[in-house]
Amino acid sequence: MSMLKQWTACAIAALMSAPLVVSGPQMVPALAQDVSAPGRPSHPRVAIETRTKGPPALGKKGAPAPAIPEPQLPPRAPFTAAEDAAAVIPGMPDARFWADSEIDFKNALPPQAGPWLILSSGGADGAFGAGLLNGLSAAGKRPGYALVSGVSTGALMAPFVFAGPRYDDALRDAYTKVRAADIFEAGRTPESFVDSWPLKELIAKRITPEILADIAAEHRRGRRLFVVSTDLDSERFVVWNLGAIAAHGGQDALDLFRSVLLASSAIPGAFPPVLINVEANGKRFAEMHADGGLGGQFFVAPPSLMQSTSDYRLPATELYVVVNTGLERDFTVVDRFVPNILTQSVGAAVKVDTRLMLDRSLVVAKRSGVPFNVAAIPPSFSAPSRGAFDPEYMGALYKVGYDTGRGATPFSSDLPPEPHAPAPPSQIERTGENQ
């Protein structure tokens, strides 16, 4: 979810990938860029079933019991900006690098040039990217990408794509057989509007020692798997070298791998952030990490290397970008209700941010002499959604992606077209003469 700083830092970004849901009378943010396109029924801003902790207890004569005080979290250990800048994962110094570090980025790249796959944020709309990649695999057209990069929902699918076609079924199930209750539980925590413990459990089930070993093997062959999270303490973005983490092996590597995926999809304010233990100059402390989309909808290279004034050339043979969010305008008469106003505002910002990033990526690809390829949800997609993480909606979108992947032209070398303005009303519609 793109995450601007536009909420005065991360609060709005927290909703960037999320429609709003209602649990009883309480509104809570759900997940990710489930914004719909024009002509496609807009996603409900209210009403879905989620896991709850039961009805409120009643006191004497049926009156509500006194509110239970919100639990207090222990204070965090203090540390300085300099310590955070020098921090590493204990025992895994190659596990990550700052997303703005040119040198570390270049040192972490694959030793041999090859095609790069860039997976965007998008929440439940990641069903499109999952279907597209499985369709490519079924058609025998999916290469062994030298580099796979993912943000938010793109981070969640990236390990399965990177590990190869044997995980195509797992990738499909991850986007067609989950519901909102598999992602979050309604009810506030001290750090968020909902609790993401179900997503944490789901990640633990899907990221097994077996897939970790397969990712490690691909890393040793020279391929690279990157996902992005946001270090909220420093307001900097971190690229995690998941292949390097997997190559370390053992329970610590498995736990860190899972934590990074949870962090990369932890919408600030909506989902709890993830604390990750680090070390600097012998001092240990925990950084607070959240959704990688705060730094952009997808990651290709450090911002300085993506600038128009840079002469950097991507060491890739082709650049493929999969956009897991609708880019069409979503017309709706917005209710005079803060969450709905924020959701609509953020949805508009996400689309603009995505298009700007696509334009910059095209410029960099041309400068590098690298073919540019982009796949996005077609404007014609119009399946209705009953709420966040609706399996029927996600299944329909997965099928669209799958058919696109198996088709003759799954990618375009041109940017997605800008949405057209709606046609003006007819004279009869303007005057009401048809009534």
Which tens digits make up the pLDDT trace of 130-158? 999 999 999 999 999 999 999 999 999 99
Q: Which residues contact 21 (CB under 8 A, 6 or more apart)?
A: 27, 28, 29, 30, 46, 47, 48, 50, 180, 186, 387, 388
Give the count of beta carbons closer than 10 Å to the beta carbon of residue 308: 8
Instruction: Give 2's pLDDT tier (boundaries 50, 70, 90).
Output: very low
Q: Answer left, alpha or beta for residue 168, where phi above 0 means left and psi between -120 and 50 means alpha.
A: alpha
pTM above 0.85, yes or no: no
Interval 263-279 mean pLDDT: 94
68 falls in which pLDDT band (50, 70, 90)?
low
Res. 426 pLDDT band, cuts 50 70 90: low
Contact indicator for 212, 62 with CB cutoff of 8 Å:
no
pLDDT band at residue 71 under the 50/70/90 scheme? confident
Sign of CA dihedral 81, 86, 91, 96: positive
The pLDDT, as a whole number, for residue 66 is: 65
Mean pLDDT value of segment 122-128? 95
pLDDT at 31 over 50: no
Residue 8 pLDDT exceeds 50: no
Report pLDDT for 411: 98
CA dihedral 356, 110, 149, 237 (to 10 degrees): -80
Cα(256)–Cα(412) distance, integer angstroms: 36
Q: Quick one: pLDDT band at residue 359, thresholds 50, 70, 90?
A: very high
For residue 320, give the nearest of 178, 134, 133 by alpha carbon: 133
Q: Contact 219/428 with Cβ under 8 angstroms?
A: no
Predicted local confidence at residue 388, as pLDDT: 83
Q: Is the pLDDT of residue 44 over 50?
A: no
DSSP track, 147-178: EEEEETHHHHHHHHHHH-GGGHHHHHHHHHS-
Structure confidence at residue 77 (pLDDT): 94
In angstroms, the CA 347 to CA 330 distance is: 8
| CB neighbour class for 54 (10 Å; exposed up to 12, middle 13-18, buried from 19) | exposed
Other beta carbons within 10 angstroms of residue 248's beta carbon come to 18
Give whole-number Cα distances, 43 to 165, 184, 338, 354, 387, in Å. 32, 18, 17, 20, 6
What confidence score (pLDDT) does residue 270 get? 87
